[in-house]
Amino acid sequence: MAKSTLRSFWEKHPDCEQNLKTWYKTASEIDWKSPHDVKLTYSNASIVANNRIVFNIKGNSYRLVVQFNFERSWAFVRFIGTHKAYDAIDVNTI
């Protein structure tokens, strides 16, 4: 998982820097094996198609879409943006 994607975003939106750093640290340290495991850590996360999970960042001001490969313990940031920008994407295919 590339921290640089998150860093680029928080440099433009500094109000979410600490939230994204915390999310990154948690995601890097925990070995999630399934979407259920993610929900145990982030109960407000939404599980969507294609192994994508949507995280609410900074009280739902921002949305983070991550695609997981649980077998290989990989996570790919597919989208990070405002709630309004999130509403304009297809979370299942981004």
Task: Choose among 39, 34, 63, 64: nearest CA to 51.
Answer: 34
Q: Residues of the chain with pLDDT > 70: what percent?
A: 99
The per-residue pLDDT for range 54-70, each reduced to its tens digit, is: 999 998 899 999 999 99
Helix (H) or strand (E) holding 78: strand 74-82
Task: Choose among 78, 70, 64: nearest CA to 24.
Answer: 64
Q: Is the pLDDT of residue 94 over 90?
A: no
